[in-house]
Chains A and B, each alone.
Chain A
Amino acid sequence: MKSSIMVRVKQKQIAQLVSLGKRLDGRGLTDYREIQLEVGVAGRAEGSARVRLGKTEVMVGTKIEIGEPFPDVPDQGVLTVNAELVPLASPTFEPGPPDENSIELARVVDRGIRESKAIALEELCVEPGKKVFIIFVDVYVLNHDGNLIDASALAALAALLNTKMFKYEVKEGEIKVKPGYIPLPMKNYPIAVTFAKINDKLIVDPWLEEEQVMDARITITTDKDGKVCAAQKGGYGCFTTQQVLEAAKIAKEKAEELRKLVVKG
């Protein structure tokens, strides 16, 4: 991407602006784009959400199935996160099996949810070692305009909070569905905040043109207590220790703002 001529032309302009503390779209260095959130957008899903982060658009649906637990945690439900960069979302996305970008996206979203222990997986065990609930979180990118990680993580959290489980009872090892629903048991609310490094400055929520010219990016996910639960550096550049620590501090503050959009009350 970096070698295309248009990007090079913009690179200079974007870098100059950033050194003055400004951005092409008029935002401050630590401002997010406008965020719109809708939940319950997919009727067939157990839970769903659509996040618009500027022009970036991500939809997440959750499905619940019954399956076998992992042998090392026989008494816990299973969380599976998958991301699809479908070709309708960007001219650079191609059909086919998940590439390294979609795998990284899914794994960064997964790490935030898993490491913050957002879902009470221990409550999702039906029969230890044999039957547990499997929570599928499918991230579907609809329009790519930069910062897919934050948009996807936010949509995933909103979809999980929107997820309803059917009530059930266990009779002779069989699951019997009862009328009514209960919310998915949630314990924590992880929020990912991504920075791009341009001209040795950190900017929050890079949009596509900024991503194309950035040296590197770093994502810091913090939980409801302000603890860091996941981090991921990406891109072909590097960070100083001070930049990483600065990012962690800003991420914690920004996450508190974003969390209010998803978690009510």
Chain B
Amino acid sequence: MSQKKPEKLVDENDVRLDSRGLNKLRPIKIEVGVLGNADGSAYIEQGKNKILAAVYGPKEAHPKHLAIPDRALLRCRYHMAPFSVEERKSPAPSRREVELSKVITEAIEPAVLVEYYPRTSIDTFIEVLQADGGTRCAAITVASLALADAGIPMRGLVAACAAGKVEGRLLLDLTDVEDKGGEADLPLAWMPNLNAITLLQMDGSLTIDEFEQVVNMAVEGCKQIYELQKEVLKAKYVTVKEEVEE
């Protein structure tokens, strides 16, 4: 089943296996309002990643002792479908998924006006249906759209994108093989409205200078994703407006 690792991930002309340039994103397709029951939902395809996000809330917090007197409890659950990866992943939450749920919540909370809904919970469920590297970033991108689709008041959208180092070159939006075969991976979430980084993780090895370049590269990627997010949301409300006017 498993494919053989190619010898070179980036060729001498700086072209990657999927024929992308070094600072290019994978093709991205986003939809909002894709699920019937959820208060808000969104779907993203970024390269081979396919991720769904749904938002339920604000609603009464359960269990009750978790309710916060002066703000809403925001919870994001990142979960991978057992069939989303090469070898079946057990559906029970792994340690990785627990950590990612935590950092994704912390990446999105700065954007949400949680103080508007004290004692409630806002639950965001993220399901990775197909994974190919960079799922936590795509998850943040799609979850912030699902929150916007649910009409939750926000300070802005959060866009996320990874950058890293592969075979000595710095590149944007790593695929799974690039991440595994590369020297470093740095997922980053960016809030254009606050000009701020809301998620930053890194593993691998980078000099301080490379670290700076990779952070800046990831921020640039996030800015491009943000433009797509805005378009998708606007397009949805144009459709809604047309429907209402009919």
Contacts and interface: CB of A to CB of B under 8 A. Distances in A.
A28 interface: no
A228 B110 CA distance: 26
Nearest to B194: A238
A3 B198 contact: no
Contact of B211 (A107, A236, A237, A245): A245
A230 B102 contact: no
Contacts of B198: 233, 238
Nearest to B199: A233
Interface in B66-95: 68-71, 95
Contacts of A100: 98-99, 101-102
A236 B202 contact: no
Interface stretch (B40-48, B49-57, B212-220, B231-239): B212-220
B99 A239 contact: no
B95 A103 contact: yes
A227 B112 CA distance: 35
A45 B102 CA distance: 32
Nearest to B200: A233
Contacts of B71: 3
Question: What DSSP secondary structure best describes chain A's contact surface?
Answer: mixed
Interface string B2-40: 000000000000000000000000000000000000000
Nearest to A252: B208
Nearest to A249: B208
B99 A223 contact: no
Contacts of A233: 103, 106-107, 197-201
Interface in A2-18: 3
Contact of A227 (B196, B207, B212, B215): B207
Nearest to B216: A241
B202 A230 contact: yes
Contacts of B200: 218, 231-233, 239, 244
A2 to B, nearest CB: 9
A92 interface: no
Contact of B204 (A107, A229, A234, A244): A229
Contact of A236 (B106, B196, B212, B216): B106
A54 to B, nearest CB: 25
A227 B197 contact: no
B219 A241 contact: yes
A127 interface: no
Given A103-B95, A115-B204, A252-B208, A236 B109 contact: yes
B197 A232 contact: no
B196 A239 contact: yes
Given A227-B205, A229-B204, A245-B211, A104 B197 contact: no
Contacts of B203: 111, 114-115, 229-230
A125 interface: no
Interface in A74-127: 98, 100-101, 103-104, 106-107, 111, 114-116
Contacts of A223: 205
Nearest to A222: B208
A241 B106 contact: no
A127 to B, nearest CB: 22
Contacts of B103: 104, 232-234
Contacts of A67: none
B228 interface: no
Nearest to A234: B106
Contacts of A107: 95-96, 99
A37 B166 CA distance: 38
A226 interface: yes
A235 interface: yes
B129 interface: no
Contacts of B69: 3
B203 to A, nearest CB: 5
Interface in A238-262: 238-241, 244-245, 248-249, 252
8 contacts: A100-B98, A104-B98, A107-B96, A216-B106, A228-B211, A232-B200, A238-B198, A239-B200
Closest 7 CB pairs of A and B: A238-B196, A231-B202, A233-B200, A236-B109, A100-B102, A238-B198, A115-B203
Given A233-B198, A244-B200, 20 more contacts: A98-B95, A101-B102, A107-B95, A114-B203, A115-B205, A116-B205, A226-B208, A227-B205, A228-B202, A228-B205, A228-B206, A228-B211, A229-B202, A232-B103, A232-B202, A233-B106, A235-B106, A239-B196, A245-B212, A249-B208
